[in-house]
Structure 1
Amino acid sequence: MMTNLFSIFEPSSSIFNLSTNWVSTFAGLFFIPYIYWASPARWSMLWSKINLTLHKEFKALLLPSHTGSTVLFVSIFSLIVFNNFLGLLPYVFTSSSHMAMTLSLSLPLWFTLMLFGWINHAKHMFAHLVPQGTPFALMPFMVLIETISNVIRPGTLAVRLAANMIAGHLLLTLLGGTGPSLSTTLVLLLLSAQILLLILESAVAIIQSYVFAVLSTLYTGEIN
């Protein structure tokens, strides 16, 4: 019997007392090498086209000197979207719903950007703290507000991704748990609702991956 609703997100599978749930984080990497040694399939051509489109979009958000960084953000998008989709499969651990994984992506990225910006472009970073046209009396408050908004960026990135993945999985679990006590007609309605929710979760998996990558790109674009 499930004593805690959030226990569905806890690691439980193990081999020789070694947790294997986090292996699913890198399971998406097994799909990538197939593109390079096999004949191009439709899904691989589609994935290549998606990567090229993302590269062009991220390139437009960056300075010409930083366009090589698009490889990093496309890779982050690929990692997150693989994890989100694998988490929709039964008995697969959803690592992207854990702050341990989302913070591990956002915090080092934000910290390196801040370190690079303050070392190489200190004046520009100070200028970002006071928007143009701010009255002199409001400048101290604007510096405080901009500093706080800058510091919480990795947390907002991590919480946004984890919370959206948890919310959908919890809703699917809550609705699925009511099935045994329902009549046949209501079970059919419940099944239809679950299918619609699964489609919605698939869309959320893509959208949240894209939002994470785009916001990371925008934060990088400010360091110039």
Structure 2
Amino acid sequence: MMTNLFSVFDPSTTIFNLSLNWLSTFIGLLLIPSTYWFLQSRMNLIWNNIILTLHMEFKTLLGPQSSGGSTFLFISLFSLILFNNFLGLFPYIFTSTSHLTLTLSLALPLWLAFMLYGWLNHTQHMFAHLVPQGTPSVLMPFMVCIETISNMIRPGTLAVRLTANMIAGHLLLTLLGNTGNSLSYFLLSFLIVGQIALLILESAVAIIQSYVFAVLSTLYSSEVI
């Protein structure tokens, strides 16, 4: 049977006609009870320090006019994407963040909520964002068109950026791994070293892309306040 290059990313694992690939997205719920222990583990202490650092940074990005607790929305978004990115690095586990189904479902409702809130509550502020300060009068109509288009494609760029980065690394690991059967032992050692280096790079990409997604969402929300 002929399959395309991206068939390894298809959600095809089923039992009784139920797709089990997306089940990996909800495995993180098993980690929630450990946060209520009386004595926290070292992992929980490290994670709490990460959350506190992100809270301070997102609070600075949102500005003093943001409502209290709004940073935890973006911290939860960062945690969800980071967990799924790392989970996809394990063998035979479906990477849900490599599909636009998940990434666009995260980006589009956030962007729609920001736009509705901004245009309903801060209409003049939103109109002012369409024309950058210091723009000549002749260029104002063009700047309005450019700013409108750039604003409309924001959820798409958020979703495609995360999806493309996750697919690219996993696809490269898969293609290199499939060549191992035809290599000699000498070349196979170089392939294993290269695969380990790529795996470390993918771990860094998993952290960076989840952080970029959360920071850009925070910046987009700060514009409508």
> Under a length normalisation based on structure 1, what TM-score does the superposition of the two structures give?
0.97
Is 1:35 aligned to 2:35, yes or no?
yes
Write out aligned runs for 1:210-221 (5 A).
210-221=211-222
Deviation at 1:27, TM superposition (A): 1.3
Identify the residue that residue 205 of structure 1 maps to in structure 2.
206
Q: What residue number does 1:76 align with? A: 77
The Cα offsets for residues 50-95 of structure 1, whole Å up to 9 and x where unpaired, read as: 0110000000001323242101000000000000000001111100
Code of the residue aligned with 1:31 in structure 2: it is L
Name the CA shift for 1:2/1:181 in 2 (closer, same or farther; >3 Å).
farther
* Residues 126-154 of structure 1: per-residue CA shift (max 9 Å, x gap): 00000011000000000000000000000
One-letter code aligned to 1:198: L
Are residue 45 (structure 1) and residue 38 (structure 2) matched?
no
C-alpha distance in structure 2 between counterparts of 1:113 and 1:68, whole Å: 16
Measured at CA, do residues 124 and 47 of structure 1 come closer, stay the same or move farther in structure 2, by a change above 3 Å? same
Percent sequence identity is 71
1:88 partnered with 2:103: no
Displacement of 1:25: 1.1
Partner residue of 1:112? 113
Q: By how many angstroms is 1:29 displaced?
A: 2.2
Amino acid in structure 1 at the alignment position of 2:20: T
Once residues 32 and 190 of structure 1 are traced to their aligned partners in structure 2, the CA distance between those partners, rounded to angstroms, is 38
CA RMSD of aligned residues (A): 1.1
Deviation at 1:23, TM superposition (A): 1.1
Tell me whether 164-173 or 31-40 shows the greater mean CA deviation: 31-40
Runs (4+) off by over 2 Å: none
Q: Which amino acid aligns with 1:175?
A: L
Structure 2 gap segments, 5+ residues each: none
Q: Which moved more, 1:104-113 or 1:64-73?
A: 64-73
Pairs aligned (count) = 224
Corresponding residue number in structure 1 for 2:188: 187
Alignment of 1:169-188 (within 5 A): 169-188=170-189
Cα deviations across residues 108-130 of structure 1 (Å, max 9, x unaligned)? Answer: 00000000000000000000000
Unaligned runs of 5+ in 1: none
